[in-house]
Copies of this chain bind each other. A is one copy, B any other.
Amino acid sequence: MSTNKKIQFSKKRTWSHDLPISFLMQQGVENPGVLSLAAGLVDQNSLPAGITKQAFDELFTDPRTAKEALQYGTTAGSLALRSLLLKHLSRLEQKSVEEIGITVDNMIVTTGSQQYLSLLGEVLLDPGDICLVAAPTYFVFLGVLQGLGARIVSVETDEFGMRMDSLEATLAMLDSQGQLSRVKMIYLVSDYENPSGVSLALDRRKQVVEIARSWSREQRVFVLEDLAYRELCYDGPVVPSIRSFDTTGETVILTQTFSKSFSPGLRVGFGVAPDEVCAAIRDKKGNDDFGSTNFSQHILATALRENLYYDHVEYLRTVYREKRDCMLQAADLHFSNIPDVHWVHPRGGLYVWMTLPDGIETGFNSPLFQKAIHEDKVMYVPGELCYAVDTGRGEKEQPSIQKNHMRLTFGVQNLAGIQEGMQRLANAVKSFV
């Protein structure tokens, strides 16, 4: 006896269908011989097994500390960890804790920084509210915004990140349309942006805070600074965060994660926000899971306290620097003889952003993607996923979503895999030029 009655899902359920990340993962599963330059995993071999063991052993030698790690934590996260995170930020910002001007109460530990991004969206955005993003930007966050029914408005970028003149122009346009009261935030991956590899220039970091403030006419416009790749810097200057220019701490909300710099399996990220926002996120998180895993937090706190973490990050930089160089060399070797193909040389992060000649599309349904995955056995992330669809405009009025880019990552493959993958990819591309 089947009732077979239709399930009536919530309205927001319809906004989070068919996520590209699921499609990508599915492709990986269905095509086992495929070399993935797409997967956002980190380098398996350099994962901190030894350090985690050291931290675990230290925690579990004393039954008291072991049992604390196995008990419930609090919704905002372990106080010991949050205190260490303050010091961590102080070290990264090269400022004293006092100069940074935040306390542990401004911090919430989350299940990766992804959960922080999602929680912030939940507490700030009603359907139709506006978030400004770079074009291109982190496509998984675009999925979050879409799932909340938010309107996503893209801002032009160049080799120094989001263009401040375009940002001003976009805000002015929204104002003239009577939409300024709906603008809640400007999202920026300021260091080694996923996917473009570009970092926001120093002068723009200061400007964006001023711009957000000056347009906070009807309600506060936040800058959401995603520093997921901050610590994966391989060469060139390390630039202060956008947040460091927010002297009152009212405008910038910052998130970071230990997924890239330590272990994604621990799922520990965190965010820093003004008190009111922090309270809102804590309340929502209280309902959602009343706290991320305490066990992981205790492991990470031990690794941070003993400086094991910092040694590991140093090591990781040498590993990824070599892998980045390997991918850039392979690009030189296999792509430099293909006309009108160019790519960014990132100074950090995990991605190389490659641009193909104008007519060559890279999307899931493109001949290139299909040939690459089925014949050449290589996979990349189509660049078009990283450009937002603005639901405030008609289909034909979309600001040109660029379709001829690929996001390549040197994170997960070893050196041989990177070289082989780049050769396969060049083969695929050559069929279309």
Contacts and interface: CB of A to CB of B under 8 A. Distances in A.
A112 B17 CA distance: 24
Interface string A134-174: 00000010011001000000000000000000000000000
B277 A293 contact: no
Nearest to A110: B289
A224 B38 CA distance: 38
Contacts of A295: 263, 265-267, 293, 295-296, 299
A122 interface: yes
29 contacts: A8-B184, A8-B218, A8-B220, A9-B124, A10-B123, A10-B124, A10-B125, A12-B126, A13-B124, A16-B284, A17-B283, A21-B286, A21-B290, A22-B75, A41-B71, A47-B66, A52-B60, A52-B66, A53-B60, A69-B265, A70-B263, A71-B263, A111-B292, A114-B290, A265-B293, A265-B294, A267-B295, A292-B293, A293-B296
Interface of A: 1-13, 16-17, 19, 21-22, 25, 40-42, 44-45, 47-49, 52-53, 56, 60, 63, 66-75, 110-112, 114-115, 118, 122-126, 129, 140, 143-144, 147, 181, 184, 213, 216-220, 247-248, 250-251, 259, 263-267, 274, 276-277, 280, 282-284, 286-296, 298-299
Given A47-B71, A111-B292, 20 more contacts: A3-B220, A5-B219, A8-B218, A13-B284, A21-B290, A22-B286, A49-B67, A71-B265, A72-B265, A73-B265, A112-B289, A143-B287, A147-B287, A265-B294, A266-B293, A267-B292, A267-B295, A292-B293, A293-B293, A296-B296
